[in-house]
Structure 1
């Protein structure tokens, strides 16, 4: 295994980053520094911690243009959209800082004469965040900021595809004068990452990535009795009822399927449409899709960039080919997208009709600009098909009937249910999944529960 991290840009195949992986001495020092810094960091109190973390966030977002370009060069998102991730990082960070005092406050038990009883929320110690490349800031901030606000110290291991994001976050904390050891990053391969998970200094692991990766994290943490938060894959469905605002549904779902070249765990992959409006929906969705501009993501006119690497592109094309071989029809002519080629990272978007659940597009995660569309005859049929998946991250219904939406949402097995929107994360709500989409929760007050250890106090007056 190589001792260097090498990042190849999907834009043109150029090497854009080369870094040495952390040595054993660097790993040991980072763990020791994090463990040594944690008690003093916690002792500062939530308000003082909030001032330091806020200062780091200020310094980070001030470099928005630099960060956006780094994201585009490393993983290919169109530069016109990359600054939005910095905005999202800031919004999530600000929200979690703002609610920390209330979320971390002791929980009082009902009054009893002669007794004082409450539950405190103590930090776990050192938290390890393992972040992916597809949303390199948004996935990282979900655990970094609340972990720090709760009094933990943090070590960040970022994807080899987006190492600059870890370095830029680290720079912001250093420029903010954060105490030594409270936030660090390490460039790590799989062996080093497993070493970190097994390290006795680590008290919590937050992992965002594939189901396979989640299983490896669980296996490494087995027997350690530490918390593990897993945000894994998705094959997220949407249902368009007959009463939906069709124009709004098409706009939202095409964007939900193709934003970030479909490389989103909560992107839309399965669309179920009431039969009476099915043909109209497909026609409008195809027309909107054909307006996308596939090409160099550094150009402002580009709205659809490459997928992350040639191997990923080949896997996406295999999913499309398997569906078409089984009877599906791609209503998008790939030749409309002249930049797409079989040997590159540039994949033409696809909308597949005449699909069924025997096809991979409808029963497994496809990390690319592809969605399948099926007609349905009732809410009950839509619910059954939406639940027919090994994943359960988000699900959406498009309707003008609030009660119908609530009824559908209560029957779906998912972590987040949307009405008239999709592919979105609200930091005031818990971000969580069921089935193969993982376990645990981040963000909202609930997100602080995994990053703290409850301690009960039972004080008796004599």
Structure 2
């Protein structure tokens, strides 16, 4: 990709030591115009290819991608701080999710037959939208992007990817894999963009669908840019995902699952557990086991194979959480982890000790405002009814989890929760066969599953009167 060197420079600093890791020149108006023009012309040809051709090429892209797994994993550790021992899981997870979406394309895009008799034939076809603009985040840079990239291309669209300024190499790794799979030029492209030029692309009304994953503020900016253009829009935004541990839960499993859901990826997960409600009968034992488990985390450089908790993406969100914890303690919360046992944790550093808080309530930001880091509040509840009320007391609704041995009880609770995905005895997980969606300030639209294909295509109805 040719970019003019007199344009603005995008600098990516690694959270390992805040040194410069990547520098890229941002796209200018000429680059943007050329990219949009190529995407348009490529789509007119790509939509005429057969589904089998697209499947073969997309599978080849996935194979090319995973052949570069070690380099991709190392780049992830440098760009966003994930421990190297876990970084490869995103590569394999991306491949698994992509293959699932490729394999369900035939059924997801099949023609719907309405009627057929000697006089009338009617059916509904799915047609591609055109150009899909994917705006991806840094925290799971491959898993989030692939949710839209693969179904968009399998449906006959072309894709332009704008990745986070923290993870620019992810866009380049995608392009490398598409090139190795011999995709026609223009079917997949990326642009390194400023926020301003990202909005400019949308406002030009030359893309047909925008898929955005990011903050609520970012979602509002994208929605404003789309205003008046009638294009499709999918938003995956913030979360404050709750877990409820019932009195009959398998306690060891609940502790291990909730704590992993809260602290994996340094708590920087879209559907990470940010608040836990525990039945009063088992509350003390749950907190004791959870605390002992968290004390075992090793905070350190993501390049160290023994590290289980890497730095946050930079010092700003780490200091934000330090402030959240400070205000909660002033309001009466109790901390259970001594930060001094994690010597890398210093104010102004991206390295942040994990923390468990009790004696918390919903007057505290730590239980209501998104943290997106390695901290979780645990609150005692008296009943399922109280747990449901507290879980629903949020501006967000991405996922919610319940831990119980009683399936009927779980379903009864789940049906009352305001959430996009409900889990029983699990959390922080995406099943690509299910629709990934949120309610309230967690977003709109959906990705994954057969429904994910629906938003990336338009229905076209045929009514054929064959005899007059």
Q: What range describes the TM-score normalised by the shorter chain of this pair?
A: over 0.9
Q: Deviations over 1:146-197 (max 9, x none)?
A: 0000000000000000000100110110111100100000000101101111
Q: Deviations over 1:341-399 (max 9, x none)?
A: 11210001011100000111111110110100001111111001000000000000000
Paired residue for 1:179? 184
1:237-256 equivalence runs, <5 A: 237-256=242-261
The alpha carbon displacement at 1:23 in A equals 1.6
- Mapped partners of 2:8, 2:315: distance in 1: 23
- Mapped partners of 1:344, 1:72: distance in 2: 17
- SS of aligned partner of 1:108: strand
1:332-351 equivalence runs, <5 A: 332-351=337-356
Q: Does residue 169 of the first structure (1) align with residue 174 of the second (2)? A: yes
Q: Among 9, 15, 18, which residue is 1:10 paired with?
A: 15
Paired residue for 2:393? 388
1:214-233 equivalence runs, <5 A: 214-233=219-238
Paired residue for 1:71? 76
- Mapped partners of 2:346, 2:302: distance in 1: 16
- Mapped partners of 2:92, 2:172: distance in 1: 18
- Mapped partners of 1:110, 1:386: distance in 2: 46
1:356-367 equivalence runs, <5 A: 356-367=361-372
- Mapped partners of 1:439, 1:343: distance in 2: 35
Q: Deviations over 1:43-95 (max 9, x none)?
A: 11111011111111110011111000001100100000000000110011000
Q: Does residue 453 of the first structure (1) align with residue 425 of the second (2)? A: no
Q: Deviations over 1:309-356 (max 9, x none)?
A: 111111111111111111111111111111211121000101110000
The alpha carbon displacement at 1:111 in A equals 4.0
- Mapped partners of 2:115, 2:297: distance in 1: 59
Q: Among 317, 324, 330, which residue is 2:329 paired with?
A: 324
Paired residue for 1:24? 29
Paired residue for 2:436? 431
- Mapped partners of 2:201, 2:180: distance in 1: 26
- SS of aligned partner of 2:105: helix
Q: Does residue 151 of the first structure (1) align with residue 156 of the second (2)? A: yes
Paired residue for 1:406? 411
- Mapped partners of 1:339, 1:30: distance in 2: 44
- Mapped partners of 1:418, 1:113: distance in 2: 49
Question: Which range moves more in the overlay, 271-280 or 199-208?
Answer: 199-208
- Mapped partners of 2:193, 2:363: distance in 1: 38
Q: Among 96, 102, 123, which residue is 2:101 paired with?
A: 96
The alpha carbon displacement at 1:110 in A equals 3.8
Q: Deviations over 1:226-276 (max 9, x none)?
A: 100000000000000010000000000000000000001100001000000
- SS of aligned partner of 1:345: coil
Residues 316 and 348 in structure 2, CA contact (< 8 A), matched pair in contact too: no
Q: Does residue 415 of the first structure (1) align with residue 420 of the second (2)? A: yes
Aligned-pair RMSD on alpha carbons? 1.0
- SS of aligned partner of 2:274: strand
- Mapped partners of 2:402, 2:456: distance in 1: 32
- Mapped partners of 1:33, 1:321: distance in 2: 52
TM-score of the superposition, structure 2-length normalised?
0.98
- Mapped partners of 1:359, 1:115: distance in 2: 63
- Mapped partners of 2:338, 2:319: distance in 1: 18
Paired residue for 2:111? 106
- Mapped partners of 2:206, 2:45: distance in 1: 16
Q: Among 120, 139, 143, which residue is 1:138 paired with?
A: 143
- Mapped partners of 1:30, 1:23: distance in 2: 11
- Mapped partners of 2:183, 2:249: distance in 1: 50
Question: Which range moves more in the overlay, 189-198 or 255-264?
Answer: 189-198
Aligned residues: 462
The alpha carbon displacement at 1:200 in A equals 2.6
Residues 115 and 121 in structure 2, CA contact (< 8 A), matched pair in contact too: no
- Mapped partners of 2:388, 2:117: distance in 1: 48
- Mapped partners of 1:238, 1:343: distance in 2: 30
Runs of 4+ in 1 over 2 A off after TM superposition: 110-113
Q: Does residue 271 of the first structure (1) align with residue 303 of the second (2)? A: no
Paired residue for 2:4? none
Which runs of 5 or more residues in structure 2 are unaligned? 1-6
- SS of aligned partner of 1:121: strand
Q: Among 59, 62, 65, which residue is 2:64 paired with?
A: 59
- Mapped partners of 2:177, 2:206: distance in 1: 24
TM-score of the superposition, structure 1-length normalised?
0.99
The alpha carbon displacement at 1:434 in A equals 0.1
The alpha carbon displacement at 1:201 in A equals 2.1
1:300-315 equivalence runs, <5 A: 300-315=305-320
